[in-house]
Structure 1
Amino acid sequence: MARAFSWLQATAIAGAVALVPVATSASAAADSDTYHELETFMTVFNRIKASYVDKVDDKKLIRGAIDGMLASLDPHSSYVDAVDFQNMQILTTGNYGGLGLTVTMQDGAVKVIAPQEDTPAGHAGIKSGDFITHIDGKFIFGETLDEAISSMRGTPGTPIKLTIVRPGRDKPIDVALVREVIVTKPVKWEVKDGIGYININTFSETTGQDVRAAIYNITKSLGHKPLGYVVDLRDNGGGLLSQAIEVSDAFLSSGEIVSQRGREKDDIERYYAKPGDDAGGLPVIVLINSGTASASEIVAGALQDHHRALIMGDRSFGKGSVQTLLQLSNDSALRLTTARYFTPSGRSVQEGGIRPDIAVPQISDPDYKSRPVFRESDLRKHLVNEVKADNAILEEDTKPDPRFAATPDELKKRGVTDFQLYYALQTIGRLSRAPAVVKK
């Protein structure tokens, strides 16, 4: 049976038997048009084989045609071969030699979605929205995404140089890195000022149970319940849909978490929370930014709609589509967008993303105002959301906010290197000190 995946989840399905209706005159005409287009395709195929300056491999031509056809649909539908399977397994189960980057292809260029925390890419200061133009001095524009990823991976301890083009910078940036063993550790936790801090980096096979373990271990380390929790989903590019549901369920005791809706009106699948809130009803703040995508947006949207958490930071990436992996052969499959997902209140995050309850800029980052932001709506052929919000107006900074007036240098002197996290912790602290409301 097919299962949907969010951003990078892969699950194969068996073939299905369909009833074939009797052709009508309209469908016959449509079939005739389709056959004509296929004849045109074969004509072009044969002309290339016969007349191109170099001999061309048939498989290369057909793969190019398939890739082009899927690219005309949306940025997330694609043909999956054995190498792609391996890449997806790495991203959902972890452990490889590389740099720790999540990347995509945009108009023939490799674009960074997010660097992974505590990896060579993260330490080198590579940022969301950067374009990688050269690897070890070789110009990679026009290469496939798989070729670029394969070049960046390699034996741990080996050096590599990337040339980065960053919008807003006049000159390219050369970054020297050393490959490391990238161990995908989906969840990290610690206690900060009596508050449980849970950093979720990706939604892989164990993320849900790791979050529950983090909640338990935070209480155990303190010897009592914390004041609340800060759940950090910043720069989390997503992962398994099932784990997004499990993480949401850890903070909810009832209600819908997410629904996915296909082409037909009655093609709706809903997922619900089970009884029991692992966090015991304590205050929760969820941090998001423009790198918070897909499965991360499911969690943020569910907790926001149920008023279970305060969402803080910047507007999220805005990927609200579901991909299903359809098996074609033993070593190939079709990753196809088959549904959109919706938050419990019926919101689609496609294009618009999740808007924070409290917009908190990362003022500890010196270039937070000038650095361009990369989101789903910037991708070519992205799915269009029928209901759009005017985010330009929502995000317009017309009045200075005294809460966010400090400069990076002033914050550094105060020992604040991550202002969004600092503000979230301060907010939880204020909530815990608030006097109880007594009803008379």
Structure 2
Amino acid sequence: MDKAAARASFPAMKKRLLQSLVVVLVVFNVVVGVRVYQAIGAQEKDDAGYANIAVFARAMQLIRQDYVDEKKVTYEELTHAAMRGMLNNLDPHSQFMEPKDFKGMQDDTNSRFGGLGIVVAQRDGAIVIVTPMEDSPGFKAGLLPNDQIVKIDGQSTDKMDQNEAINLLRGDPGQKVTLTILRPGTKEIKDFTIVRENIKVASVKDAKILPAEVGGDFKIGYARITQFNVPTAEELSKKLDELQAKGMQAFILDLRYNPGGLLNSAVDVCGQFLPPKTLVVSTEGRVPSQSRQYHTADTVKSRPRFPLAILINGGSASGSEIVAGALKDLNRAILVGETTFGKGSVQSVIQLQDGSAMRLTTAKYYTPSHTVIHEHGVAPTIRATLTGEQERMLMMQRREETGVETDHKELSNFRDTQLERAVDALKGVMIYADKAGVPGAKKTSTN
């Protein structure tokens, strides 16, 4: 064959070679693909993962190819939007966090952070204040639980997700932010201009023996926990020691508006009232590593088994529900108030390759009697409710204790009926024990 003929036949040879290679690759991919699909199919059975991922990939391809605004269809934006939608569709506590959101969450795990000191949640598409942390700028400004944030610095929160709202609420200390608030109880819409501060959360507050006009002939101790932090159990232990030294006969623990905090801290608080090695809470998930049991410490401080009441309401969440649920199940406390928030799930934070992260619900909390907390809450032993006006007055009373100027005349008529019901319940327990001749009833018995 001459050179010209060889050159003429080369493209045909190249074409045949490529066709053969494609056939080999197709056969290889089909064989291997079938094996992989069968292996995954054996695990996932009815969940056609490949088929659905192919639909997703095709949709992304079409969006990138045909969507009118080319600037909105980068791979990163589309992927993050899809992740956000997937996780938001699971439950209210699973979230996708872009890199800046993930960094903000890491900053918030410290005891000090910049902001307004309000805990927010998304309910029925609205950004709602679960509780303002005591001593925080939001608390002092007069924000209340269940207030709906309509605007942040003039920007509507309609169609805004929780992470977007939190990013707008954050800022450097000293900066101002204006919140437009809708108060459901009165339908009032009002602007609050608040200066951001470094927030330092105090755990145990207002520890005291209730005055005689409330406690009567009995010395009933009282303290409230605003949030479960690292030093909470230790702080509570010191306060209980001080109250016992003053002759405390019974104790009221106020967990109203407590949004939770650290799980181990909540378990350690239970250890102030329970014997060593007592099961407090368990978690269960699909993955075996998510199933765990949490007990009080092997050694706990010996205390008198004084009658105990816990105040709860719809703002008591997470760690508060663990404490209330455990002490109720173990017949160690009377719960007074309203059913708690119902946040009884475990979120695992998983960082992804691009610096973003998923907050994924991986397990649920169960009380010692294996009662689920999530979306059900913990019901009180004695139901006692506050009106919207009474709740406002209670928050005003707490603001006054922090030095915020309030209307003393208005507060003089306020009655905390939930606290009164708790006092009445404890008095009943002590009077019955005394009449029944329970040893040490007035001094209380020991564990």
Query: What TM-score results when the alignment is normalised by the length of structure 2?
Result: 0.74
**Alpha carbons of 1:187 and 1:429: their partners in 2 closer, same or farther (altered >3 Å)?**
same
SS in 1 for 2:81: helix
The 1-side partners of 2:43 and 2:260 are apart by: 43
1:243 correspondence with 2:258: no
**Structure-1 residue corresponding to 2:397:** none
Q: Is the 8 A contact 1:215 1:279 kept in 2?
A: no
**Alpha carbons of 1:122 and 1:21: their partners in 2 closer, same or farther (altered >3 Å)?**
same
Determine which of 95, 104, 114 is the counterpart of 1:97.
114
**Structure-1 residue corresponding to 2:280:** 257
**Structure-2 residue corresponding to 1:315:** 339
The 1-side partners of 2:47 and 2:208 are apart by: 66
1:150 correspondence with 2:146: no
Of structures 1 and 2, the larger Rg is shown by 2
Q: Identical aligned pairs, as a percentage?
A: 35
C-alpha displacement of 1:433: 5.7
- Whose helix proportion is higher, 1 or 2? 2
1:163 correspondence with 2:204: no
**Structure-2 residue corresponding to 1:358:** 382
Within 5 A, what are the aligned runs for 1:345-384? 345-363=369-387, 365-366=389-390
**Structure-1 residue corresponding to 2:360:** 336
Q: Which moved more, 1:195-204 or 1:62-71?
A: 195-204
Counterpart AA for 2:372: S
Q: Is the 8 A contact 1:363 1:419 kept in 2?
A: no
C-alpha offsets along residues 373-412 of structure 1, whole Å, 9 cap, x if unaligned? xxxxxxxxxxxxxxxxxxxxxxxxxxxxxxxxxxxx9x96
C-alpha displacement of 1:22: 9.7
Q: Which moved more, 1:22-31 or 1:238-247?
A: 22-31
Within 5 A, what are the aligned runs for 1:224-243? 224-243=246-265
SS in 2 for 1:237: coil
Q: Is the 8 A contact 1:314 1:360 kept in 2?
A: yes
C-alpha displacement of 1:202: 1.4
The 2-side partners of 1:48 and 1:330 are apart by: 22
C-alpha displacement of 1:145: 2.6
Counterpart AA for 1:146: N
SS in 1 for 2:335: strand
C-alpha displacement of 1:25: 9.3
**Alpha carbons of 1:188 and 1:88: their partners in 2 closer, same or farther (altered >3 Å)?**
farther
**Alpha carbons of 1:33 and 1:298: their partners in 2 closer, same or farther (altered >3 Å)?**
same
**Structure-2 residue corresponding to 1:424:** 422
- Cα RMSD, aligned residues only: 3.3
C-alpha displacement of 1:336: 1.7
**Structure-2 residue corresponding to 1:437:** 436
C-alpha displacement of 1:299: 0.4
The 1-side partners of 2:428 and 2:174 are apart by: 46
The 1-side partners of 2:134 and 2:289 are apart by: 41
Unmatched segments (≥5 aa) in structure 2: 1-34, 211-218, 393-406, 440-447
C-alpha offsets along residues 159-217 of structure 1, whole Å, 9 cap, x if unaligned? 32211223354453322333333211122242132433221111222222222233234
Q: Is the 8 A contact 1:93 1:184 kept in 2?
A: no
Counterpart AA for 1:250: Q
Q: Which moved more, 1:348-357 or 1:88-97?
A: 88-97
Q: Is the 8 A contact 1:93 1:205 kept in 2?
A: no
SS in 2 for 1:97: strand
1:215 correspondence with 2:237: no
1:201 correspondence with 2:226: yes
C-alpha displacement of 1:81: 4.4
Query: What TM-score results when the alignment is normalised by the length of structure 1?
Result: 0.75
1:65 correspondence with 2:82: yes
What is the aligned residue count? 377
SS in 2 for 1:316: coil
C-alpha offsets along residues 132-155 of structure 1, whole Å, 9 cap, x if unaligned? 121122223233433322322234
Counterpart AA for 1:117: E
Greater relative contact order, per chain length (Cα 8 Å cut-off, separation 6+):
1
